[in-house]
């Protein structure tokens, strides 16, 4: 498998790291000498300086026999032209492009990316993906992550253990007896910025970030078991009126009946544009770091503040200030991951990483074969994978106990004929089952062998 990644920024380098860890032949192209030098120093991939859309640069990168091109430079036009050149001159089978400008995505121009015009197989819009990810969190108050699995029948949820959590210091193996009717599997724990795969004798501690897979019909009970009984937000204040802020406000207007939203934007022109686009959202032109503006936005009666401006520091400070003035919960967009260890102790409830969301979305489209979906969790911790058990899989016909799963792999749930099967050591895998499992980065190669069909790429 040979992949060319155009763009060595945060998203491109993250994707390169993910693919290189699975021994994929990766070449990264970027105009920045500094970014390429960093890639060469930190990753076992080929990296070259050059303009990603130029034919001779792509030829030098190996486009003639490449299986995939992923274009994630900062310029939409470069990404689009790179895909066009890869198709027209080198017949690269799969092209994925990140496109930020929403004008390109309007329905009236939908033919633009058809096979006969500009053949891009998958288009990723980071702003839309981030807005969707934040919107999903509104549906489960108290969660910092929520991802649908198995045709929405299951959810991957991230929840933080607060002081009110009633199951801290309880061995995880006892949770089944404490909650016999609750279909839940804990697949990962992050404690003091260290990732761990849970075992039966482990227990939860205050401050732990816990990832769990749960039956979608039992989410409320699962959250209650972790001490989270927060009501759904009825008022939301969004800080930042750019593409993410506008997309999020539109989602609130369309999907959340009974939720009122206000939007604060410091740039007058951007605020005026947002006011034209948004029908039900109150748009305020002002500085979110100004207490008077927060009072005008009625921040004291807001259940949730969502800071999604283009400035990490503004997002962090505005979130903390909003909570001081009465906001119950802060969802904060942060691009610089070095801030992460500081944010939870400061009082930030949910940290949103556009880089991680975009990279995870792209990786879902990269995998093929029996893989239905892939979702990265934590910083290079592992992946929650939804995979179909084919007849050739060594797991088929065996129980979980007999299958001798490698270290770092947890089978969280099985979907069989539209029914969710609660997993224990005696659960037997059948051909055609959709298996939801977690695998650390180190274990993914071993998971490939378990399912007989390699977790391969296009």
Task: Express each pLDDT in 12-60 by its tens digit.
Answer: 998 898 888 777 899 999 999 999 999 999 999 999 999 999 999 999 9
Tell me the pLDDT band of 382, cut-offs 50, 70 and 90. Answer: confident
**Six-digit token string for 431:** 């051909």
pLDDT of residue 377: 84
Q: Which residues contact 95 (CB under 8 A, 6 or more apart)?
A: 68, 69, 71, 83, 86, 87, 119, 120, 121, 122
Q: Which domains does the chain have, with CATH numbers?
A: 2-124 (3.40.50.720), 143-225 (3.30.70.1450), 235-356 (3.40.50.720)
In the β-sheet with 194-196, what is the strand arrangement from edge to edge? 143-149, 154-160, 209-215, 184-191, 194-196
pLDDT for 14 equals 84
Single out the residue of 320, 325, 270 nearest to residue 293, CA to CA: 325
Flag whether pLDDT at 457 surpasses 50: no
Helix axes 243-255, 126-139, angle to 10 degrees: 40
- 356: Cβ contacts below 8 Å, ≥ 6 apart: 14, 376, 379
Helix H, strand E, coil C: the string for 46-88 is EEEECCCCCHHHHHHCCHHHCCEEEECCCCHHHHHHHHHHHHH
pLDDT tier for residue 296 given thresholds of 50, 70 and 90: very high
pLDDT for res 244: 92
> Tens digits of per-residue pLDDT, 344-374?
888 888 899 888 888 778 877 776 556 677 8
pLDDT digits (tens, 9 = 90+) for 309-341: 999 999 999 999 999 999 989 999 998 878 877
**pLDDT per residue as tens digits for the range 76-93:** 999 999 999 999 999 999
In the predicted model, is pLDDT for residue 455 greater than 70?
A: no
- The whole-angstrom separation of Cα 213 and Cα 195 is 17
Percent of residues, the chain, with pLDDT higher than 90: 53
pLDDT confidence of residue 456? 43
Q: 10 Å Cβ neighbour count for 443?
A: 21
In three-state secondary structure terms, 14 is helix
Report the C-alpha dihedral over residues 156, 349, 203, 205, rounded to 10 degrees. Answer: 180
CA 42 to chain centre: 23
Strand 209-215, strand 154-160: pairing: antiparallel
The Cβ of residue 182 has, within 10 Å, a number of other Cβ atoms equal to: 16
Mean pLDDT across the chain? 88
pLDDT on residue 81: 96
Average pLDDT of span 164-184: 89
Quick check: 116 pLDDT over 70?
Answer: yes
Give residue 214's region: left, alpha or beta (phi > 0; psi -120 to 50). Answer: beta
Tokens of 181: 């009717």
Give the strand pairing for 382-388 and 434-440: antiparallel
Q: What is the pLDDT of residues 405-429, one digit of tens each?
A: 888 899 999 999 888 988 888 999 9
* 445 has pLDDT over 80: no
Burial class (CB in 10 A: 0-12, 13-18, 19+), 199: exposed
What predicted TM-score, i.e. pTM, was given to this entire model?
0.81
* Residue 448 pLDDT: 67
**Alpha carbon of 440 to those of 199, 378, 384, 410: distances in Å?**
14, 10, 9, 9
pLDDT at 369: 53
What is the sign, positive or negative, of the torsion defined by CA atoms of 216, 217, 220, 221? negative
Beta strands in 199-313 (DSSP E): 209-215, 235-239, 260-265, 282-285, 304-307
Instruction: Give the residue with greater pLDDT, 137 vs 365.
Output: 137
The position carrying tokens 């034209």 is 276
| Distance in angstroms (rounded) separating the CA atoms of residues 153 and 422 | 13
Q: Is 15 helix (H, G, I), strand (E, B) or coil?
A: helix
Backbone angles phi, psi at 130, to 5 degrees: -65, -45
* Overall average pLDDT of the 142-148 stretch: 89
């Amino acid at each position: 498998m040979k992949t060319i990644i155009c763009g060595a920024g945060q998203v491109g380098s993250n994707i390169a790291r993910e693919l290189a860890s699975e021994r994929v032949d990766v070449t990264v192209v970027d105009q920045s000498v500094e970014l390429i030098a960093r890639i060469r120093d930190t990753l076992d991939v080929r990296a070259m300086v050059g303009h990603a859309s130029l034919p001779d640069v792509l030829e030098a990168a190996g486009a003639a026999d490449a299986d995939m091109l992923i274009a994630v430079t900062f310029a939409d036009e470069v990404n689009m032209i790179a895909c066009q050149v890869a198709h027209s001159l080198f017949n690269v089978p799969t092209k994925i492009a990140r496109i930020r400008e929403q004008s390109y995505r309007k329905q009236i121009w939908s033919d633009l990316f058809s096979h006969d015009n500009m053949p891009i197989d998958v288009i990723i819009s980071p702003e839309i993906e981030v807005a969707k990810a934040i919107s999903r969190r509104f549906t489960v108050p108290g969660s910092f992550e929520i991802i649908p699995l198995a045709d929405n029948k299951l959810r991957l949820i991230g929840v933080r253990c607060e002081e009110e959590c009633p199951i801290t210091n309880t061995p995880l193996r006892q949770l089944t007896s404490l909650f016999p009717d609750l279909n839940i599997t804990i697949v990962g724990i992050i404690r003091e910025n260290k990732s761990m795969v849970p075992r039966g004798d482990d227990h939860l501690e205050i401050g732990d970030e816990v990832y769990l897979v749960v039956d979608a019909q039992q989410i409320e009970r699962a959250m209650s078991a972790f001490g989270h009984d927060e009501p759904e937000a009825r008022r939301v204040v969004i800080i930042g009126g750019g593409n993410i802020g506008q997309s999020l406000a539109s989602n609130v207007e369309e999907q959340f009946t009974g939720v009122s939203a206000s939007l604060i934007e410091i740039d007058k022109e951007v605020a005026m544009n947002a006011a034209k686009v948004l029908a039900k959202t109150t748009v305020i032109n002002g500085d979110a770091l100004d207490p008077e503006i927060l009072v005008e936005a009625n921040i004291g009666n807001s259940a949730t503040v969502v800071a999604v401006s283009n400035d990490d520091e503004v997002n962090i400070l505005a979130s903390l200030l909003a909570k001081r003035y009465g906001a119950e919960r802060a969802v904060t967009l942060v691009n610089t991951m070095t801030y992460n260890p500081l944010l939870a102790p400061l009082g930030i409830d949910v940290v949103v990483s556009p880089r991680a969301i975009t990279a995870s979305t792209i990786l879902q489209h990269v995998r093929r074969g029996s893989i239905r979906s892939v979702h990265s969790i934590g910083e290079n911790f592992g992946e929650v994978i939804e995979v179909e058990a084919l007849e050739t899989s060594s797991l088929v016909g065996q129980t979980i106990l007999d299958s001798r799963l490698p270290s770092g792999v947890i089978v969280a749930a099985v979907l069989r004929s539209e029914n969710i099967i609660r997993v224990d050591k005696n659960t037997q895998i059948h051909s055609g089952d959709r298996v939801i499992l977690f695998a650390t980065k180190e274990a993914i190669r071993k998971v490939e062998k378990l399912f007989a069909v390699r977790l391969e790429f296009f």
